Amino acid sequence: MDSRRVSFTLYRVLAYVTGVFLLGLTFVAMPAKYLVGEDSMFALAPAPSGLEHWFGPESPLMLFIAMPHGYVYMAYVLVVLWVSLNRRWGAGRTLGVVLAGTVPVLGFVVEHRLARAERAADREAQEPVPTA
């Protein structure tokens, strides 16, 4: 297996893992920390009875979701740099792909488009060149 294929496969895996953790962070951990519970910063709703320890400023969800997301995102950035060097992307495209990992759902869309472009480039490279 060549380096280009390994780097792109690793990018695809990390794009999905980063996206899943980002969705968990955005829609589970952050609301649990800031919106639910009597001692949360913007207490919009009380914590469910018996589950108070999961909500508020000391929510363990931050440990289980936010911390792994940070480490996975750092790996994602390094792999995007690796892919961009292999494919000689410009700075704008590289930065765009890196930032796509910070917007919920956008990372999935960008990964899908890059994978489609990669498959098209592979098909193009495998087609025989017509001789005149």
Kindly report, residue by residue over 55-79, the tens digit of the pLDDT: 878 888 888 999 999 999 999 999 9
Q: 21-25, 33-37, 112-116 — which is least confidently predicted? A: 33-37
Q: Is residue 27 part of a domain?
A: yes
3-class DSSP assignment, residue 32: helix
Q: What is the number of domains present in the chain?
A: 1
Q: Is residue 131 part of a domain?
A: no
Q: Which domain holds residue 19?
A: 3-126
Q: In the structure, what pLDDT confidence band is assigned to residue 121 with cuts at 50, 70 and 90?
A: confident
Q: Is residue 132 part of a domain?
A: no
Q: Is residue 28 part of a domain?
A: yes
3-class DSSP assignment, residue 45: strand
**Which position has the higher pLDDT, 113 or 32?**
113
For 81-122, the DSSP string reads HHHHHHHT--HHHHHHHHHHTTSTTHHHHHHHHHHHHHHHHH
Q: Is residue 87 part of a domain?
A: yes
CA distance linking residue 104 with residue 69, whole number of Å: 12
Q: Is residue 84 part of a domain?
A: yes
